Amino acid sequence: MKAAQDWPVFVISLTDAGERRARISEQLSALSIPFEFVDAIDGRSGLPAEYERMIDRAGTLVQERRGMSDAEYACALSHMSVYKRILDQNLPGAIVLEDDAILGAGFAAYRGARAYEHGDLIQLDYTDARIWRFAKAAKQFPDFALMPIVKIGILANGYSVSLRGARHLYTHGLPIRHPADWPCDVSAINCLISIPRIVDHPPIEVAQSTLEMGRRLLLSVSYERKSSRFTKAKYWRRKWSELWTKRAP
């Protein structure tokens, strides 16, 4: 019987990010894990014109209630390029890292156990994710557990995505209206989360991050929110969710 194909590790990185590339290369090489850099789209000096057809600035204002910087659009499009590659090459899936990822002790075990095969989208790094308060693990491993997600966390710094997951994200995520984390509703696919996190990220230094600087600037602009966003039904749905779920550690 033919052995199952290992999922590749793709690292999204700007071509001139020499120090970041060196750090993530050192981490992966120390674990003897092969990987490939995916050159990120550079939006620091404005989004290249050929990508404008792939984004929806007006739709972003409606759905995010704020604008997105060109660097944010470029980041989301860079992740989209990975999903398209999975589809074009008919890969079973991939582990996706950003170049500032900090690999935890469980990362090698995650890849070695092929834990990625258990979900369409598995977050390895996250914040503000929520899980069922009394749920059992979907899959238990010696160093970590995979738990069903009730509310997917932000951060696309480290995750695995299956062929099915990539197809969903690419099909429903274009044109881009949301940040890379995440471009569309993912409730239709099997989303899991690793507990504890097995990928980490460095503290965000606004002065050193073009992406974060642009995001903070746009968040400082106030957009009028419609009162219908705060309906009684929505309030009680949130309260119910808080009662039966908990924040993932």
Q: What's the average model confidence in pLDDT over 205-216?
A: 51
125-154 per-position pLDDT tens digit: 999 999 888 778 999 999 999 999 999 999
pLDDT at 222: 40
Contact between residue 10 and residue 35 where contact means Cβ atoms under 8 Å apart: yes
Give domain 9-247's CATH architecture: Alpha-Beta Complex (3.90)
pLDDT at 237: 55
If pLDDT is split at 50, 70 and 90, which confidence band does 123 have? very high
What is the per-residue DSSP string for the chain? -PPPPPPPEEEEE-TT-HHHHHHHHHHHHHTT---EEEEPP--TT---GGGGGGB-HHHHHHHHSS---HHHHHHHHHHHHHHHHHHHTT-SEEEEEETT-EE-TTHHHHHHTTGGGG-SEEESS-BS-EEETTPPPSEE-SS-EEEE-SBPPB--SEEEEEHHHHHHHHHHH-SB-S-SS-SS--TTS-EEEEES-SEE-PPP-GGG-HHHHHHHHHHTS--PPPGGGG-HHHHHHHHHHHHHEEE--
Is 60 exceeded by the pLDDT of residue 63? yes
pLDDT at 168: 98
Is 60 exceeded by the pLDDT of residue 42? yes
pTM of structure: 0.86
What are the residue ranges spanned by the domains of the chain?
Answer: 9-247
pLDDT at 135: 79
Q: What type of residue is 90?
A: N
If pLDDT is split at 50, 70 and 90, which confidence band does 52 have? very high
Is 60 exceeded by the pLDDT of residue 44? yes
Distances, alpha carbon 241 to alpha carbons 128, 204, 231, in Å: 13, 29, 16
pLDDT at 248: 78
Distances, alpha carbon 125 to alpha carbons 108, 152, 200, in Å: 15, 11, 6
pLDDT at 221: 45
CB atoms within 10 A of CB 208: 9
If pLDDT is split at 50, 70 and 90, which confidence band does 124 have? very high
- Answer whether the bond into residue 182 is a cis peptide, omega within 30°: yes
If pLDDT is split at 50, 70 and 90, which confidence band does 226 have? very low
